[in-house]
């Protein structure tokens, strides 16, 4: 909104200083600041309102230290996060950008599903919340919409580079450049290519997954593979974020670390110089996602003001479901979804701990007549609580691991 306003003021009235809004770094910085301000100012009022409405979290009796003190703590605090994401994005991002519009749509979609889940749990007294089939429909539906838009929208392209020996080899409608003695030209094309770490080119085309087809058919149906991957990624990351939201500050802090990393990757992918240096595909027009990622990071950090131990508010499914889905969709847009197992390692291990625990329990119950457990409790953070670790220590150590994974994610682009 403000981008378009200041662009108009500069063009029509030549307003001094208005051109600074053309810089993504400037607008991203403002997005973080405004996001933090919204979290701090809006957060206190919302917490008081939620307390008045008796929107309290239902605490299960798990035999964990401190769980009694959490009873009565307001939930649905994810509304703070959603407001702190959407308002700065609407203010500072280019609202004619397909990536930004799709992220705004996804955030609202996700927020509504999480809000309905919390509303049913709190006010309808149904601990199950929104029926599982509706959550699945929401996850699958969003994955399909995102995949279709990213594949079929004409504005979604990647810029490929071609090396040539003579100028005559280049098409007539492109500009040829001499880069370090090598003639090259660039062309924006539709592509089903994504980023894959640890290989020489850092890229893989989804058509390669259809290896039993000839090249023409594989290229034609590669978008179906991308759609399936999109659904799987969104489902896995959202469930992981939801499971991670079990102790004060863990999900919000972990998401902030991931958000910062995605903002860096979005900036690199949207910058021709940096993307060329790191040999990462350049994606035109997606630099605007840095604004969204900055607002997302600021929202998560701002929420920690009230959610750090001891929490004054819980994010509820309104926040936890949205966090994972936003991360997944953002990664899909910058074509970094295949690095999420590294970047979202905390979410992954939380998911795996539950899967391993449940599977082993069922296996031993069938084989020995009684179920046995590998962990004292799952998800993994509850295992450490059972071992006697204090919540702040668990959260801090998980954050440290998350930072290490984020750094490793970035350096994978120099490992090949």
Identify the pLDDT of residue 374. Answer: 92
Residue 278 token pair: 């790191």
Q: Which residues pair with 237 in a beta bridge?
A: none
C-beta separation of 157 from 284 below 8 A: yes
DSSP 155-171: T--EEEEEEESSGGGS-
Q: Check the CA dihedral 299-305-310-314 and report its sign.
A: negative
Q: Which tens digits make up the pLDDT trace of 102-121?
A: 999 999 988 888 889 888 88
Q: How confident is the model at residue 63 (pLDDT cuts 50, 70, 90)?
A: low
- The model carries a pTM of 0.92
**Highest mean pLDDT: which range of 14-28, 59-73, 322-336:** 322-336
Q: What is the mean pLDDT of residues 43-70?
A: 75
Report the distance separating Cα 334 and Cα 155, nearest Å: 14
pLDDT in tens, 180-205: 677 777 788 888 888 888 777 778 88
Contact 322, 299 (CB under 8 A): no
Q: Both tokens of residue 116?
A: 């309905």
What are the tens digits of pLDDT across the range 90-100?
A: 999 999 999 99
């Amino acid at each position: 909104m403000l981008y378009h306003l200041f662009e108009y003021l500069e063009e029509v009235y030549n307003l001094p200083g208005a051109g600074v809004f053309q810089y993504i770094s400037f607008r991203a910085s403002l997005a973080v600041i405004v996001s933090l301000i919204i979290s701090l100012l809006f957060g206190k009022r919302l917490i008081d309102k939620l307390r008045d409405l008796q929107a309290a979290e239902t605490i299960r009796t798990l035999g964990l230290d401190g769980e009694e003190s959490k009873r009565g703590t307001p939930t649905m605090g994810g509304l703070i996060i959603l407001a702190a994401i959407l308002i700065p994005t609407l203010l500072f991002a280019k609202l004619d950008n397909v990536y930004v519009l799709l992220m705004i749509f996804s955030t609202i979609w996700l927020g509504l599903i999480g809000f309905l889940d919390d509303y049913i749990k709190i006010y309808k007294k149904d601990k199950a919340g929104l029926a599982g089939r509706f959550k699945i429909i929401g996850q699958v539906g969003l994955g399909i919409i995102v995949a279709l838009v990213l594949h079929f929208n004409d504005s979604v392209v990647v810029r490929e580079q071609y090396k040539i020996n003579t100028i005559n080899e280049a098409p007539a409608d492109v500009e040829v450049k001499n880069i370090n003695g090598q003639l090259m030209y660039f062309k924006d094309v539709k592509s089903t290519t994504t980023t894959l770490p640890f290989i020489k080119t850092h890229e893989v085309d989804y058509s390669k997954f259809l290896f039993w087809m000839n090249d023409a058919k594989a290229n034609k149906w590669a978008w179906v593979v991308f759609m399936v991957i999109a659904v799987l990624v969104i489902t896995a990351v959202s469930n992981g974020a939801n499971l991670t939201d079990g102790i004060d500050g863990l999900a919000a802090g972990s998401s902030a670390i991931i958000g910062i990393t995605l903002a860096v990757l979005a900036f690199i992918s949207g910058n021709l110089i940096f993307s060329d240096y790191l040999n990462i595909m350049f994606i035109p027009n997606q630099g605007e996602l840095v604004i969204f990622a900055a607002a997302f990071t600021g929202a998560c950090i701002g929420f920690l003001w009230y959610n750090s131990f001891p929490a004054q508010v819980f994010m509820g499914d309104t926040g936890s479901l949205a966090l994972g889905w936003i991360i997944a969709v953002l990664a899909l847009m910058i074509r970094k979804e295949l690095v999420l197992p590294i970047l979202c390692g905390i979410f992954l291990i939380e998911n795996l701990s539950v899967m391993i625990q449940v599977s082993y329990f069922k296996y031993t119950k069938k084989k020995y007549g009684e179920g046995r457990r590998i962990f004292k409790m799952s998800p993994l953070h509850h295992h450490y609580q059972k071992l006697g670790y204090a919540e702040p220590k668990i959260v801090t150590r998980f954050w440290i691991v998350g930072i290490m994974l984020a750094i490793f994610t970035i350096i994978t682009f120099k490992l090949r």
